[in-house]
Every structure is written in structure tokens, then in C-alpha cells.
């Protein structure tokens, strides 16, 4: 099985669980918080043409359509797209959804004002190639917002593993054994170890890759947790803060 098949099989198997997570997010403060964070970082245009790469069960696609923008969303598995369509229907919106490889987008050059992705790059078999493709479909005055973290560096770095275990102890002391961190099982751990991005220190790696790709302006907020996470999540992920990269041609 090649890497892309491994990725697709993993997310197909995980689609239902992630859909439940997205439904809870849509019913929480995160719906407003994420929309505000994205749109204040977007190009200043009243109605944006937005591409949501790796939409999963459709959270970004839904909240940005609700905000009045034209949203196209892609994911590599039909299972994720099926849940995204259902979640969008429940929210009363109709973004355009496609099953599509994030490395090879079936869109014309310079099609989008804004490209967004959340927790996607760590799953890519060739992130630098994907960044080149996203640049191709981005308009000259457009922007890419990449949200991600060093979710799995603990599998490759002893210091990150130690900090993860400290977080786990602190989190369990406050929230109990049932709240144990990252209860994914051996199969998911094997998947995470197999993804090439997970051994790279980010966002430092992304800066270098984006510069090689030809982007001219790169801004980074290294920790957006205070904006989009609740108190429990800020403790749970304190050694793995989510960053935001804002990138322009």
C-alpha cells in the first residue's frame, strides 16, 4: 500500500468520528471564533472565492459559507465528503464539495482569493508539492491560511515525548482517567509514524518550503489556542500549540 492509499484508508475509517467532533464544534463558541480568525486574516474582499483543502466533515466550508462567501471544499475521501454534505445540509448551506487529491487540484490557475486548511499538512505525502499546487490556484492578491501543529513529533523527538507525557499527567489529574490524551490505538499511531511530515519541526520547516515554492510574504502566529480552544484543550495541547501561517504570492 502506498502512502496516498494509507492516508485515504485512514480518513475513510475515521470519517464518522470526526463528523461527531465537527457537529460539536458547530454548536460551540468555535463556530464564531474560527470564522472571525479566518476572515480577519483574509484578503479585504466583500465576497471571497474560498477553497477549503482537506475539508474533512466540512467545518470550515460550513462556517465560511454561513459568513456569505463562495466556498469550494475538497477532501481525498468520499466518506469525509459525504459527512461534510450532511453537516452542511443540517446547517442550511450548500458549499461545493469534491473528492480530490490536495496535491493535484482540478481547478484553473488563479481560481481562489483564499485557501484554508486545518490539520491537513501533517497528513500529506509531499507537502511541498501540495504547496506548489495551492500557489497555482491562488490569485495574485490572494492568501493561504495554514493551521496545524506538531501533533506527532513526540514519536520522533524525546523532548517532545516528555512534554506530551507531562501534559497527559496534568490533564488527567484535572479531568480524570477517561480524558486520557490521544486515545487513537496502535493502528493510528502506526499511521502517524508513517507520515513524513510528523518528524519535521514546524512551522520552521514550512517557512523553508514556502520560500522554496516562491511565496514572497509569510506571516506566522505560533499559538492561536487562546482564540479557538477551550480551557481543557489549552491544557491538553499546551506543548503542541496550533500555529497559523498566512502566505501570499
pTM of the entire predicted model:
0.94
> How far is CA 127 from each of CA 55, 98, 124, 161, rounded to the nearest angstrom?
16, 20, 5, 24
CATH no. for 3-151+201-248: 3.40.50.150
First to last CA, the chain: 36
3 phi, psi to nearest 5 deg: -60, -40
Strand partners, 53: 74
Q: What is the pLDDT of residue 19?
A: 86
| Per-residue DSSP letter, 242 | P
pLDDT tens figures, 77-128: 999 999 999 999 999 999 999 999 999 999 999 999 999 999 999 999 999 9
Please give the grid coordinates belonging to residue 131.
504547496
Helices (H), 154-203: 158-175, 185-194
Q: Determine which helix (DSSP H) or strand (DSSP E) holds 125, and give its type and residue range.
A: none
Q: Which of 55-59, 116-120, 176-180 has the lowest mean pLDDT?
A: 176-180
Q: What is the pLDDT of residue 155?
A: 96
More confident: 52 or 178? 52
Cis, bond preceding 203 (omega within 30 deg of 0): yes
Please give the grid coordinates belonging to residue 159.
523532548
pLDDT tens figures, 124-171: 999 999 999 999 999 999 999 999 999 999 999 999 999 999 999 999
> How far is CA 229 from each of CA 52, 68, 125, 179, 224, rounded to the nearest angstrom?
20, 24, 28, 16, 8
Amino acid at each position: 500500500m502506498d502512502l496516498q492509499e494509507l492516508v485515504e484508508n485512514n480518513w475513510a475509517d475515521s470519517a464518522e468520528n470526526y463528523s461527531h467532533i465537527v457537529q460539536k464544534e458547530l454548536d460551540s463558541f468555535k463556530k464564531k471564533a474560527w470564522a472571525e480568525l479566518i476572515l480577519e486574516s483574509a484578503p479585504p474582499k466583500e465576497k471571497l472565492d474560498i477553497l477549503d483543502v482537506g475539508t474533512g466533515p466540512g467545518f470550515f466550508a460550513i462556517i465560511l459559507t454561513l459568513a456569505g462567501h463562495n466556498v469550494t471544499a475538497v477532501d481525498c475521501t468520499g466518506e469525509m465528503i459525504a459527512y461534510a454534505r450532511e453537516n452542511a445540509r443540517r446547517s442550511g448551506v450548500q458549499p461545493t464539495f469534491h473528492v480530490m487529491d490536495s496535491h493535484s487540484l482540478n481547478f484553473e490557475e488563479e481560481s481562489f482569493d483564499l485557501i484554508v486548511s486545518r490539520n491537513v499538512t501533517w497528513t500529506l505525502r509531499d507537502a511541498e508539492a501540495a504547496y506548489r499546487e495551492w500557489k497555482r490556484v491562488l490569485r495574485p492578491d490572494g492568501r493561504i491560511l495554514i493551521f496545524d501543529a506538531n501533533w506527532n513529533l513526540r514519536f520522533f523527538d524525546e523532548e517532545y515525548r516528555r512534554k506530551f507525557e507531562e501534559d497527559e499527567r496534568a490533564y488527567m489529574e484535572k479531568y480524570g482517567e477517561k480524558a486520557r490524551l490521544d486515545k487513537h490505538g496502535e493502528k493510528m499511531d502506526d499511521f502517524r509514524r508513517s507520515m513524513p511530515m510528523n518528524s519535521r519541526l514546524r512551522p520552521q520547516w514550512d517557512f523553508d518550503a514556502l520560500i522554496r515554492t516562491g511565496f514572497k510574504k509569510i506571516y506566522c502566529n505560533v499559538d492561536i489556542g487562546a482564540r479557538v480552544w477551550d480551557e481543557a484543550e489549552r491544557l491538553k495541547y499546551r506543548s503542541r500549540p496550533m500555529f497559523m501561517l498566512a502566505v501570499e504570492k
